[in-house]
Amino acid sequence: MKTKKQNLNQKLSVKDNKLGISYAKLKLTLKEYKKNLELLQDEVSNLFESKNTNVLFFYDKDEVACIQKLTRTGLYFDTKKFKEECPNVYQKYLTERTSVEFKPVVQDEVNNAK
Protein backbone atom coordinates (compact mmCIF):
# COMPACT_ATOMS: atom_id res chain seq x y z
CA MET A 1 0.00 0.00 0.00
CA LYS A 2 1.30 3.45 -0.85
CA THR A 3 2.07 5.64 2.12
CA LYS A 4 1.20 8.84 0.23
CA LYS A 5 -2.36 10.01 -0.24
CA GLN A 6 -4.18 7.77 -2.67
CA ASN A 7 -7.27 8.30 -4.77
CA LEU A 8 -7.08 12.06 -4.68
CA ASN A 9 -9.79 12.09 -7.33
CA GLN A 10 -12.36 11.06 -4.70
CA LYS A 11 -12.73 14.67 -3.52
CA LEU A 12 -14.03 13.84 -0.06
CA SER A 13 -15.34 16.66 2.09
CA VAL A 14 -13.74 17.55 5.42
CA LYS A 15 -16.75 15.99 7.15
CA ASP A 16 -16.39 12.75 5.15
CA ASN A 17 -12.65 12.58 5.93
CA LYS A 18 -13.33 13.05 9.64
CA LEU A 19 -15.98 10.33 9.48
CA GLY A 20 -13.58 7.89 7.80
CA ILE A 21 -10.69 8.63 10.17
CA SER A 22 -12.98 8.33 13.22
CA TYR A 23 -14.40 5.02 11.99
CA ALA A 24 -10.96 3.58 11.24
CA LYS A 25 -9.49 4.59 14.59
CA LEU A 26 -12.50 3.37 16.55
CA LYS A 27 -12.59 0.02 14.77
CA LEU A 28 -8.87 -0.54 15.39
CA THR A 29 -9.29 0.48 19.04
CA LEU A 30 -12.19 -1.96 19.48
CA LYS A 31 -10.11 -4.74 17.92
CA GLU A 32 -7.34 -4.10 20.45
CA TYR A 33 -9.83 -3.91 23.34
CA LYS A 34 -11.38 -7.23 22.30
CA LYS A 35 -7.96 -8.88 22.36
CA ASN A 36 -7.25 -7.48 25.81
CA LEU A 37 -10.70 -8.47 27.06
CA GLU A 38 -10.17 -12.08 25.95
CA LEU A 39 -6.87 -12.22 27.83
CA LEU A 40 -8.41 -10.72 30.97
CA GLN A 41 -11.47 -12.96 30.79
CA ASP A 42 -9.35 -16.08 31.34
CA GLU A 43 -7.80 -14.52 34.43
CA VAL A 44 -11.18 -13.36 35.75
CA SER A 45 -12.59 -16.85 35.19
CA ASN A 46 -9.73 -18.34 37.20
CA LEU A 47 -10.35 -15.80 39.97
CA PHE A 48 -14.04 -16.78 40.18
CA GLU A 49 -13.08 -20.46 40.35
CA SER A 50 -10.51 -19.89 43.07
CA LYS A 51 -12.97 -17.82 45.16
CA ASN A 52 -15.85 -20.23 44.49
CA THR A 53 -18.41 -17.45 44.10
CA ASN A 54 -20.72 -15.91 41.50
CA VAL A 55 -20.14 -12.26 42.44
CA LEU A 56 -16.94 -10.36 43.12
CA PHE A 57 -16.53 -6.74 44.23
CA PHE A 58 -13.38 -4.81 43.38
CA TYR A 59 -12.13 -1.67 45.10
CA ASP A 60 -9.36 0.65 43.91
CA LYS A 61 -8.98 4.19 45.30
CA ASP A 62 -12.22 5.95 44.31
CA GLU A 63 -13.59 3.19 42.09
CA VAL A 64 -15.81 0.26 42.87
CA ALA A 65 -16.65 -2.45 40.36
CA CYS A 66 -18.72 -5.57 40.51
CA ILE A 67 -18.56 -8.57 38.19
CA GLN A 68 -21.25 -11.20 38.27
CA LYS A 69 -20.69 -14.65 36.80
CA LEU A 70 -23.71 -15.77 34.77
CA THR A 71 -24.03 -19.32 33.48
CA ARG A 72 -26.57 -19.96 30.77
CA THR A 73 -27.62 -23.23 29.23
CA GLY A 74 -29.27 -23.39 25.85
CA LEU A 75 -29.94 -25.61 22.90
CA TYR A 76 -27.82 -25.17 19.80
CA PHE A 77 -27.98 -26.85 16.43
CA ASP A 78 -24.85 -28.92 15.78
CA THR A 79 -24.17 -27.94 12.17
CA LYS A 80 -20.95 -29.93 11.92
CA LYS A 81 -22.59 -33.18 13.06
CA PHE A 82 -25.59 -32.58 10.78
CA LYS A 83 -23.29 -31.98 7.81
CA GLU A 84 -21.43 -35.23 8.52
CA GLU A 85 -24.56 -37.35 9.04
CA CYS A 86 -26.84 -35.83 6.37
CA PRO A 87 -24.60 -34.23 3.72
CA ASN A 88 -27.29 -34.22 0.99
CA VAL A 89 -29.87 -32.51 3.15
CA TYR A 90 -27.24 -30.08 4.44
CA GLN A 91 -26.22 -29.22 0.87
CA LYS A 92 -29.85 -28.69 -0.12
CA TYR A 93 -30.32 -25.96 2.49
CA LEU A 94 -27.07 -24.11 1.96
CA THR A 95 -27.59 -20.55 0.78
CA GLU A 96 -25.03 -18.08 -0.42
CA ARG A 97 -24.49 -14.92 1.60
CA THR A 98 -22.45 -11.87 0.84
CA SER A 99 -21.04 -9.76 3.60
CA VAL A 100 -19.21 -6.46 3.54
CA GLU A 101 -16.43 -5.52 5.90
CA PHE A 102 -14.79 -2.14 6.15
CA LYS A 103 -11.21 -2.88 7.13
CA PRO A 104 -9.39 0.22 8.33
CA VAL A 105 -5.76 1.13 7.88
CA VAL A 106 -4.55 4.28 9.61
CA GLN A 107 -1.53 6.02 8.09
CA ASP A 108 0.46 5.96 11.34
CA GLU A 109 0.07 2.19 11.46
CA VAL A 110 1.34 1.83 7.90
CA ASN A 111 4.48 3.78 8.82
CA ASN A 112 4.99 1.86 12.07
CA ALA A 113 4.63 -1.50 10.32
CA LYS A 114 7.81 -0.92 8.32
Q: What angle do CA 46, 52, 53 make, to 5 degrees?
A: 100
Residues pairing with 104 in the sheet: none
Q: Are 20 and 99 in contact (CB under 8 A)?
A: no
Q: 3-class DSSP state for residue 38?
A: helix
pTM of this structure: 0.60
Averaged pLDDT, 56-60: 94
pLDDT by residue (tens digit) across 32-53?
Answer: 999 999 999 999 999 999 999 9
What are the residue boundaries of the structural domains of the chain, listed by start?
8-112
Q: How high does pLDDT run on average in the chain?
A: 87
